[in-house]
Structure 1
Amino acid sequence: MTDPNFRAAAEAVLPGDEAGPVFREPWQAQAFAMAVALSAAGHFSWADWAATLSRKLAGQTAEADADGGGYYRAWLAALEELTDGRGLTSPDERSSRQESWAEAYRTTPHGSPVNLPSD
């Protein structure tokens, strides 16, 4: 069941301007969408999400956000903590998948789409 405060909370934390949501990089939008979808599916409450994200943001320094991406790096760290903690993934699985994507990126010709080979 969706947390009743979920939509309002999501809209409150989403960076934006008068034109709508603002993401500097595609991965930021994807991380945002994953957190919203997992919360909506009942894997964690929006209150749990907000508390976890707050802890991650509190641990940042100004230098960590020099490029403006610190907010979403904290978002990603919170997402990883919650998915690991709920058994949706494990650090080993995540590390293996990250390495698979990194290898696919390194071996893809410039200008071609990066595709992860089938396992």
Structure 2
Amino acid sequence: MTRTKTPPRDEFTAVPAIPRDSPGPVFGSPWQAAAFAMTLALHERGLFTWSEWVAHLSSAIRDAQAVRDPDRGDTYYECWLSALERIVTEKGYLTVDALLQRREAWNEAARRTPHGKPIELR
């Protein structure tokens, strides 16, 4: 029997202010669900502990609040993505340069993609 390292429900609910309803987290757009799923997959592979993740997410939220994030409910997953980028670069799984190159590749792909079509990296 294989056990995953998915956080127990009580640890999962400890994540700061996660948008959720009774069955679980809710997402405003597909990229938010992808960032969430990527975080869980990396955690399940043992790349970071859940307490490390919560600390990084809390820090990203505090940083956003420090620059007066209006927090209308639309920036939570921006903090989530920021925390994910921070944890993978701090642990050396990805360099900052590689992260910036990938971000630019996505931005370029988004610019050339017609509205309503899926973004594809070349």
Task: Give the structure-1-normalised TM-score.
Answer: 0.81
> Does the alignment pair 1:115 with 2:112?
no
CA drift of 1:30 comes to 1.0
Q: Which residue of 2 aligns with 1:39?
A: 43
- Structure 2: how far apart are the matches of 1:70 and 1:114? 21
Distance apart, 1:60 and its partner CA: 2.4
Judging by fraction of residues, say which structure has more helix: 1
Q: 1:88 to 1:68 in 2, by over 3 A?
A: same
Which amino acid counterpart does residue 63 of structure 2 have in structure 1?
G
CA RMSD between the two structures: 2.3
Partner of 2:8: 7
Alignment of 1:18 with 2:5, yes or no, is: no
Q: Residues 45-94 of structure 1: CA distance to partner in whole angstroms, max 9, x if unpaired? A: 00111111111112222842444222211111111111001111111111
Partner of 2:61: 57
SS of 2:69's equivalent in the other structure is helix
| TM-score, normalising length: structure 2 | 0.80
Q: Counterpart in 1 of 2:110?
A: 105
Structure 2 unaligned spans of 5+: none
Is 1:89 aligned to 2:94, yes or no? yes
How far apart, CA to CA, are the structure 2 residues paired with 1:111 and 1:2?
36
Q: In terms of mean alpha carbon deviation, does 68-77 or 91-100 score higher?
A: 68-77
Query: Match for 1:39: what amino acid?
Result: H
Cα deviation, 1:20-64, whole Å, max 9, x if unaligned, reads 431111111111111111111100000111111111112222842
Percent identical residues:
41
Q: Relative to 1, partners in 2 of residues 1:17 and 1:95: Cα closer, same or farther, differing over 3 Å?
A: same
Aligned to 1:29: 33
